[in-house]
A = this chain, B = another copy of it.
Amino acid sequence: MVSREKELPQVNSCIRLFADQEQIQGYKETLDEIEDVFARLAQVYALAGNDARLKILYLLGQQNELCPCDLSDILQMTVPAVSQHLRKLRDAHLVRTRKTGQTIFYSIMPDQANVIDQLFIHIPNQKSVAV
């Protein structure tokens, strides 16, 4: 029980010497307002945060479409492993599929192309992106 809790009940960790209390409260509210934006951003980055998936997104950005089989060859990993990564990307609506015979072609979801291109903006020889 510390006396300052009487005037600042929302403070519960440390006695701040430097921080501006109002500003802190303001940041809390800002983060609350765009909570869903952050949630989506974190989801995209979590997916891009895996080496195999990052490369898949890169390759799909370069090539129009690729099948799990090709990706398996390029990335040198088993087809089921690739398929499971593709499923996560599709669940997050980052890629879409087109079926022709027994082949399933994966491509970048058009309305997510900007977000995905941004991921590779620091890659050398990367095509420029309209934001």
Chain A contact residues, CB within 8 Å of chain B = 10-14, 16-19, 23-24, 27-28, 31, 34, 37-39, 41-51, 54-55, 58-59, 62-63, 66-67, 69-70, 72-76, 79, 103, 115, 118-124, 131
Contacts and interface: CB of A to CB of B under 8 A. Distances in A.
12 contacts: A11-B73, A16-B70, A18-B103, A27-B59, A27-B62, A38-B51, A41-B120, A42-B49, A44-B49, A45-B49, A46-B50, A121-B131
Given A37-B123, A54-B41, A121-B131, A12 B49 contact: no
Contact of A70 (B24, B31, B72, B124): B24
A50 to B, nearest CB: 6
A24 B121 contact: no
A28 B74 CA distance: 5
A128 to B, nearest CB: 9
Given A14-B72, A46-B49, A50-B46, A118 B122 contact: yes
Nearest to A19: B70
B121 A31 contact: no
B69 A16 contact: yes
Contacts of A39: 51
Contact of A24 (B23, B74, B123): B74
